[in-house]
Structure 1
Amino acid sequence: MKGNIDSIIFDAGGVLMFIKEFRSSIIKRVLLAKGYDIALIDRALSDLQIFDQQFFAKYKIVDWSDEKQWLQERSIRISNFVNGDNLLAEQLFHIALDTHQYQLYSETLEVLERLREKYRLFVLSNATATLDWAFDSLGIRQYFDKIMISSYVGSEKPNREIYVHALSSFALNPSSTMFIDDKIENVVAAQACGIQAYHLQRNKGESLSSFEELLVASSKPYL
């Protein structure tokens, strides 16, 4: 890590925030609470995987209208599988929205507060509208100069084109930019574009605080 960094690009999920409960778990919990048989629920969830494969073979999610169509159709699919109740389909659609399932890691806010005093901050995330909205519900959008969501630009990490697009859109010099992601393939792809990059491994006890410590250490002049 070189000490000439003036900008930081963050991944979102696994770096800034995490999902408290995934939609499949929520759907299963709700259906169990309504008294549906566990074997039937498991078959319905397996059928959803088939539906998703078929849907994404035909369509791409670009904006909220696309994501809404996907979530509505999969809610109808699982409802039809268990009982064909339109009201159940409506309920499953609303509880499947991930936006309010995102939660910040405990250190995120305090680290962002300190880093924005020294660096320009950005986000590059493989995500859709429901994650984009989480920046508002969690109250952290104001920390970032710009946020780039992969579905909006039609490319995703680790494709080279999205890094090139981000550097251009954010007006950044790759050599003075730090990228942080929890997936090694995304880190390697950033480095291939000349961007300094850090692999955040929370499963090994790392956090944004340890990343910040490395930034501070790299910026100190040699004595």
Structure 2
Amino acid sequence: MSEIRHIVFDIGKVLLHYDPDLPFSRLIPDPEERRWFFDNICTHDWNIEQDRGRTWEEAEQLLIDAHPDHADNIRNFRLHWHEMVPYAYEDSVHVMERLIDDGHDVTMLTNFAADTFREARQRFPFLDRPRGTTVSGEIGMIKPERGIYDHHAAAFGLDPSATIFIDDSQKNVDGAKAAGWQAVLFQNAKTLEEDLERFGISR
């Protein structure tokens, strides 16, 4: 196992809480109706294309053309996005900030729409603490595609074999490993600290 010289954090569900149900439990109170809406209209596959760089205007129009009766709630997805990200995981943020304070090289690699990431940076100043961030919506690639890992390594001068990636998605962890990185699946701050210690990064 190579010595770790670079630490790369995902953001959503690692540093920031994300849950579309938060505003939509109010907008569509019936649980079955709400689940149908997410399974058939504002789906994960639809939303991930905004992370790849598609504009919200284009994304909304695509769905409104197909589901005109749901136009208001289609627009509500972006309109109420801020409610979907209500708080940071303070214990995870503490781990990241301590690593930075201890002199480790920390960057972030995230699937995030460009405009909502700008909004998140305004709301959560700790997102400016790492050396830099690769935002999928700004470069037109998403995890777990190989290209986004290679792009991040090149952009920030990382040696892949000396890089550890922290992500809550097993697919994204596997994508990092396929790109030659070390990687761990995020569960909570305590297990993250244990994983880092296992890779020789002491508390």
Matched, 1:66 2:50: no
Return the offset for 1:94: 6.3
Cα separation, 2, equivalents of 1:154 and 1:90: 23
Contact 1:156 1:162 in 2 (8 A): yes
Cα separation, 2, equivalents of 1:47 and 1:213: 39
Aligned residue pairs: how many? 196
Q: Kindly provide the CA deviation profile for residues 117-154 of structure 1, in whole angstroms up to 9, marking residues without a partner as x.
A: 23111111122131453133112122211111212211
Matched, 1:180 2:177: no
Amino acid at match of 1:172: L
Matched, 1:109 2:93: yes
Return the offset for 1:10: 0.9
Matched, 1:157 2:143: yes
Closer, same or farther in 2 for the Cα pair 1:45/1:209, shift >3 Å?
closer
Which structure is larger by alpha-carbon Rg, 1 or 2? 1
**Structure 2 unaligned blocks of 5 or more:** none
Amino acid at match of 2:12: G
Contact 2:22 2:83 in 1 (8 A): no
Cα separation, 2, equivalents of 1:71 and 1:219: 46
Contact 1:16 1:108 in 2 (8 A): yes
Cα separation, 2, equivalents of 1:45 and 1:215: 37
Return the offset for 1:108: 2.2
Taking structure 2 as the reference length, what is the TM-score of the superposition? 0.75
**Structure 1 unaligned blocks of 5 or more:** 33-37
Contact 1:181 1:198 in 2 (8 A): yes
Identity across aligned pairs (percent)?
Answer: 24
Cα separation, 2, equivalents of 1:159 and 1:109: 26
Taking structure 1 as the reference length, what is the TM-score of the superposition? 0.69
Cα separation, 1, equivalents of 2:179 and 2:74: 44
